[in-house]
């Protein structure tokens, strides 16, 4: 039997990975009343010198079963535990590397952190450290080191605007806490000592992408951010957000005029006063920007997208990497704009009455 596999990272570095448990004792869990602290699991991907050995599991059997429970899918409950990754578990950070840029990743609502593995592995292969957060109780299953599994706990909450704002602002607090721990004097991961505190970015899918705006507003350490296919809340103040920002979403859903989701981006666009781009991908579906699209194709259950999941993931990885290269590595050119010739599925969008250069504008588009 051919096991499902993730796309090979495109960079020159082998990839290591590890999972880290964090506990924020300064605040109770925002969702479950009798949990006195906020517990989180994060996965880290980073460049390593290791070139052989077993590869990391995508998910455990228990996690796969929890995630697929109740889903009308024609695959075994443990199917996601058979996925092959490319990272070496608990490998040491490449000893020759210093001042590594850090990218915080936030997955979609209900989705485990593993669904951004392809993005994390690719960034690590290009010399980044990627840290993806399981936002506890918002995902199907979070497994802690002592064996406890925190299952999804938000089924009874009405999906009001206030609920979604709490999701996004809560994730912003999670992101800031993760940064605090990775950058403090006694970090939970030995390799954290070689992170560049002045080169931090964040990206996320769906609710995780929308939460990136909330995180950037709350934490100035995040120098650049990207929202991948997530509608946003009206969080940006009239003074604007002046750091680089990339919108990347589905054509037909997030192009100007497509409807309510696209309208949230149009509302935020004039308030993004730094470098910015608004890009849409033809033929993509919502989950095509994560591992779920390419894995659905391999499991024989394609999402119905005109663009295969593997191709959409290649686009997602290329544009996120180019964006962070440009803004965290001080590239002298504009690598995001250089990608258009090789990615005809991607087009740049611009709301009416907005400057065509996609550069710095003032609130209101003046």
Task: Check residue 333 and give its pLDDT.
Answer: 62
Task: Check residue 364 and give its pLDDT.
Answer: 28
Q: Which residues of the chain have pLDDT under 50?
A: 356-366
Query: What does the alpha-carbon distance between residue 63 and residue 152 come to, in Å, rounded to a whole number?
Result: 12
Task: Check residue 360 and give its pLDDT.
Answer: 37
Question: Are 63 and 81 contacting, i.e. CB atoms less than 8 angstroms apart?
Answer: yes
Task: Check residue 331 and give its pLDDT.
Answer: 66
Task: Check residue 75 and give its pLDDT.
Answer: 83
pLDDT tens, position by position, 292-321 = 999 989 998 888 888 999 999 999 999 999
- Encoding tokens for residue 42? 């994060």
Question: Are 230 and 237 contacting, i.e. CB atoms less than 8 angstroms apart?
Answer: no
The helix/strand/coil state of 54 is coil
Query: What does the alpha-carbon distance between residue 30 and residue 35 come to, in Å, rounded to a whole number?
Result: 9
| pTM greater than 0.85 | yes
Task: Check residue 359 and give its pLDDT.
Answer: 43
Domains in the chain: ranges and CATH: 15-348 (3.40.50.1820)
Q: Which residues contact 105 (CB under 8 A, 6 or more apart)?
A: 113, 116, 119, 120, 130, 131, 132, 133, 202, 203, 204, 208
Task: Check residue 1 and give its pLDDT.
Answer: 56
Task: Check residue 304 and give its pLDDT.
Answer: 83
Q: Is 86 exposed, middle or buried (0-12, 13-18, 19+ CB in 10 A)?
A: buried
Query: What does the alpha-carbon distance between residue 41 and residue 190 come to, in Å, rounded to a whole number?
Result: 16
Query: What does the alpha-carbon distance between residue 249 and residue 284 come to, in Å, rounded to a whole number?
Result: 8
Q: How many residues does the chain have?
A: 366
Query: What does the alpha-carbon distance between residue 136 and residue 32 come to, in Å, rounded to a whole number?
Result: 10
DSSP letter assigned to residue 164: H
pLDDT tens, position by position, 111-158 = 999 999 999 999 999 999 999 999 999 998 899 999 999 999 999 999
């Amino acid at each position: 039997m051919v096991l499902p596999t993730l796309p090979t990272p495109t960079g020159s570095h082998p990839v290591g990975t590890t999972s880290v448990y964090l506990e924020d004792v300064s605040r109770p869990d925002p969702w479950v009343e009798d949990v006195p602290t906020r517990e989180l699991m994060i996965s880290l991907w980073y460049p390593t010198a290791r070139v052989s050995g077993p590869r990391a599991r995508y998910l455990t059997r228990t996690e796969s079963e929890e995630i697929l429970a109740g889903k009308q899918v024609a695959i075994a409950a443990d199917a996601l535990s058979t996925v092959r990754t490319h990272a070496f578990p608990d490998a040491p950070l490449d000893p020759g590397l210093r001042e590594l840029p850090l990218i915080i990743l936030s997955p979609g609502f209900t989705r485990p952190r593993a669904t951004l593995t392809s993005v994390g592995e690719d960034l690590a292969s290009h010399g980044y450290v990627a840290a993806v957060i399981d936002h506890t109780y918002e995902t199907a299953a979070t497994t802690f080191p002592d064996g406890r599994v925190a299952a999804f706990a938000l089924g009874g909450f009405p999906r009001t605007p206030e609920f979604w704002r709490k999701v996004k602002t809560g994730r912003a607090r999670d992101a800031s806490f993760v940064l605090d721990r990775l950058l403090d004097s006694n970090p939970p991961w030995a390799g954290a000592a070689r992170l560049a505190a002045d080169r931090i970015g964040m990206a996320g899918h769906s609710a995780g992408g929308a939460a990136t705006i909330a995180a950037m507003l709350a934490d100035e350490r995040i120098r650049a951010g990207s929202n991948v296919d997530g509608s946003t809340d009206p969080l940006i103040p009239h003074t604007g957000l002046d750091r680089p920002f990339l919108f990347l979403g589905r054509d037909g859903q997030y192009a100007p005029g497509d409807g309510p989701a696209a309208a949230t981006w149009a509302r935020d666009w004039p308030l993004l006063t730094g470098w910015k781009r608004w890009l849409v991908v033809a033929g993509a579906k919502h989950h095509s920007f994560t591992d779920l699209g390419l894995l659905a194709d391999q499991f024989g259950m394609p999402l119905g997208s005109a663009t295969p999941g593997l191709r959409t993931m290649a686009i997602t990885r290329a544009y996120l990497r180019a964006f962070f290269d440009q803004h965290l590595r001080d590239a002298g050119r504009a690598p995001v704009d250089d990608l258009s010739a090789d990615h005809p599925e991607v087009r740049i969008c611009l709301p009416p009455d907005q400057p065509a250069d996609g550069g710095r504008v003032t609130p209101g588009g003046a």
